Amino acid sequence: MKLAYPIATPEVSKSMMSFCGDFKQNIANIKAIGYCALELIVRDPEEMDKSSICRMIDQSGLKVAALGCGPAAFEDGLTLLNPDKRVRERALTRAMEIVNFASIWGAPVCIGKYRGQLWTSREKEAMQVLSEAVMKIAAFAEKKGVQILMEPQNKSNLNSLNTTAETVSWIEYSHIPNTGILYDTFQGNLAEVSVGAGILNAKGKIGFVHCSDSGRNPPGTGNISISDALAVLKSTGYDRYLSMEISQRPDSFTAAELAYKSVSYILNYII
């Protein structure tokens, strides 16, 4: 397994458990710590200098592990289930633009809170709307060589697709192509019978992993047995990226360095 760290692209104004701000310096910091890849946290590809971003990433030698679209929801209010159809259409368009951007590297695009909340008393209708939206995004992404990854989140965050079993079942029932699972150990600890059970219920479907401990602390500093979780993940044959979605306390460099050392030790000496 390979280690990645989240970094906000320049048009993002607020840190979302990522390096945020000076993009070039943040890339240098992530590389200096030892990470081999970036998870790009994106708001709007049309508001960034894409050629400059690509050049800085290429010059760093780092890979792009995945793209997250959370800032489009938190900063612009775009979700695939917004009650306003016009906003939903804008969210669908934005998702396509992020997929286009991701196609530069062939990296997957992750959908978590970007899907939005089911509508009260109209849950079945909302799930149909979500299925149709993700179907369109996934079909478009397939043509671009990009996979879509849905992130199960606990019930205090979202009112649908809370567990890996639910999410895999929904993908299969809806016949959505080109779509897998983003597994988050923090979310799994809250939503699953166990973090390991959540992994096993999505065996062969996981395309990316967010690794963090309880309280969004760096792995190895909370109540989740990260070594056990990674051992289960390894047993499934997963060999892709682990990205550290953690609180940036006391600062991004310190948090990223601690997470890197902790997970590297687990991978090299424990499992």
Q: What is the CATH number of the domain that holds 147?
A: 3.20.20.150
Q: 46: domain range?
A: 2-270
* Mean pLDDT calculated for residue range 142-153: 98
Evaluate whether 74 touches 17 at the Cβ level (below 8 Å): no
pLDDT of residue 22: 97
Residue 85 identity: K
Compute the chain's Rg from CA coordinates. Answer: 17
Number of domains in the chain: 1
pLDDT of residue 166: 98
* Mean pLDDT calculated for residue range 151-160: 97
Of 211, 186, 189, give the one whose Cα is nearest residue 35.
211
* Mean pLDDT calculated for residue range 121-143: 97
5: β partners:
38
**What span, in angstroms and rounded, lies between the C-alpha atoms of 114 and 239?**
26
pLDDT greater than 90 at residue 15: no
> Residue 189 has which token pair?
């600890």
DSSP state of 104: T
Distant-in-sequence, close-in-space partners of 268: CB < 8 Å, separation ≥ 6: none
**What's the predicted TM-score (pTM) here?**
0.97
DSSP 3-state of 8? strand
pLDDT of residue 104: 98
pLDDT greater than 90 at residue 115: yes
